[in-house]
Chains A and B, each alone.
Chain A
Amino acid sequence: MILVYVETTPDGVNEVSLETVTFARGLSAAGGGVPIDAVLVGPAPGGASTELAAYGVRTVHHAESDGFDRFSGAATATAVLAARQAAGAVVVMAGGTNRGNEVMARVATRLGVAMAANVVSFGGLSPFVVTRQVVGGAALEEMRLTHRPAVFAVAGHAVEPEAAAEPGAGTVQALSVDLAHEDLLVRVVSVEHAGTDDSGSLKSARIVVGAGRGAGGPDGFKGVIELAELLGGSLGVSRVVTSLGWRPHHEQVGQTGSRIAPEVYLPCGISGAIQHWAGCASSKVIIAINTDAEAPMMTKATYAVIGDMHEVVPAINEEIRSRRG
């Protein structure tokens, strides 16, 4: 049995968890139809089990006692271990979010087994070999997971979320978890909810306009901000922009910033170092604007405009405005 730790938002199962269940179905098929269970920890929206059933989940183990009202990594790991015990899972996996990585690392540590992060695919089942991103995705590592359960986290956007051809039952089973004092020693004390300018909107944006060193300084973002507004998108920047203090860190796209997967990404004045590419490689279409036609971002993009962002972007903005009348 494969067990997936699933995260939710108020609207339903989060996208990375749906990707992970999709990944689990591939693993299940390779193993001859091994059942997939999910574990939900804490409050979850009512439709989550229906959504998981559509993705092929057999049973949804749900732990929702008082101890789970505020996030605790230790308590969540205890719940996942209880679900693993109840279901007899030989694979325990999660989406590669900060939460998912943390919970899988705790589960693996407590079981005394290895944990693979940033997994993008699997090879053989016997031995079980996974391929994972290292160096921000610029290289791959094949890693053998010999212990059972095999514990790993799937890199965000490694697979497209896709509902199952044959839905699962999605039966909800209340999961009883005995929490110890240590499980509740460290919990979130408070959450300052994200505003529209936080990284949450960047990560889920359909359109992202990017800017890098080519912006030239803190005053060089007027055009790209206007373009993002005209397109109903978000602004994302490269690390050099945040490290120079030109823009706040929550706008950073890259290995140590947000990982985005928009329909359209327009990087302007961004050369495309591997650390930035790690955060934007899952964009469906990339339209790069740069003076250097040989910059890595320009050669990896789908479309390119050779030119200074301070000339090209205002011209695009003007063109959009004039067509709208």
Chain B
Amino acid sequence: MTNVLVCIKRVPDFSGEVLLTEDSQSADARFVGYTLSNHDSCAVELAVQVASATDGTATVLSVGDPDAVEQLRSALGVGCTTAVLVEAEPVTLGPADVAREIAAVVRDHEAAGTSHDLVLLGNDAADSGDFQVGIRLAHELSRPVVTGMQTVTDQNGVVRLQGDGPDGRETYEVPLPAVVTVMEGGVEPRYPTITGRMKAKKVEVETRPVSQAPAGSARVRLCLPPPSPSTVEVLGEGPGAAGSVVDLLQRLGVGR
């Protein structure tokens, strides 16, 4: 039985232009809404799969503002059974703060009788892209950590992990307890069922304050890259443009 803890982050759902807040400290998501990072969605799926295969539990956790309950409930809707929100102002948090807060939850739950032997996180967040919370968490908990994995299979206390390395498909086998960061590509996150959504609404989210004042992220400010002047040259419309395209490819030295 493996009790999995999966950690997720509420991130702005940008697909077009990014807007910044007036103080240039955050991305302004008022007009686009929020979602989960793709890697986080896959981590949730893997957590549910491992918990189900081992008759264990999947607990979902987020460190952020109270609105992150929306993302916790979406994870509850696809099979997580309990949820924890560590309330904090996101802009005040650096990766070390987030790792420390997750570690505090793991330790407190363990003291209360629930051991999260496997902790899953997205490899990096779609907004901040820090690539380090999982590693800092593992260091806090003195556990081994593997990053960038796409599949996770529990084999009686040892997890078998696979992901893409520089030379091909890599396999790791790691004794639990361990921390694993997940990348998109190995599993397809499931959609919530109506029953799942109903159940998710009834779950009481464990809400707790941060264990200590955040140290912060060393951010000076956010800015937007200068817009590249549009210099696009239209080669034509429809199939009639094929000749111009092939002329261009030949000038560029390809397609000969």
Instruction: Name A residues whose Cβ lies closer than 8 Å to a Cβ of B.
Output: 7, 9, 14, 71, 73-74, 97-99, 101-102, 105-106, 108-110, 114-115, 117-118, 129, 132-146, 153, 182, 185-194, 198-200, 206-207, 230-233, 239, 242-243, 245, 249-250, 252, 255-257, 263-264, 273-275, 285, 287-288, 293, 296, 298-308, 311-312, 314-316, 318-320, 323
CB distance from A269 to the nearest CB of B (A): 14
A274–B171 touching, CB < 8 Å: no
| Nearest-CB residue, chain B, relative to A123 | B220
B231–A302 touching, CB < 8 Å: yes
Given contacts A185-B144, A256-B39, 10 further A-B contacts (CB under 8 A): A115-B132, A117-B130, A138-B14, A139-B20, A141-B221, A189-B172, A194-B167, A198-B164, A308-B238, A320-B246
Interface class of chain B by DSSP: mixed
Q: Does B213 contact A (CB under 8 A)?
A: no
Docked complex Cα distance between A142 and B224 (Å): 11
B164–A134 touching, CB < 8 Å: no
Docked complex Cα distance between A102 and B145 (Å): 10
Q: Which residues of B contact A144 (CB under 8 A)?
A: 218, 220
Interface pairs (14), CB distance under 8 Å: A115-B132, A129-B220, A138-B14, A189-B171, A192-B169, A231-B254, A264-B252, A300-B228, A302-B231, A303-B234, A303-B235, A303-B248, A304-B235, A307-B237
Docked complex Cα distance between A182 and B129 (Å): 27
Q: Which residues of B contact A187 (CB under 8 A)?
A: 172
Stretch from B58-66, B109-117, B183-191 that touches the partner: B183-191
A316–B147 touching, CB < 8 Å: no
Docked complex Cα distance between A162 and B236 (Å): 37
Interface positions of B from 37 to 89, Cβ below 8 Å from A: 38-39
Docked complex Cα distance between A92 and B72 (Å): 37
A105–B131 touching, CB < 8 Å: yes
| Nearest-CB residue, chain A, relative to B150 | A249
Question: Which of A114, A139, A144 lies at the interface centre, i.e. has the most chain B CB atoms within 10 A of its CB?
Answer: A139
CB within 8 Å for A153 and B145 given contacts A138-B18, A139-B225, A304-B234: no
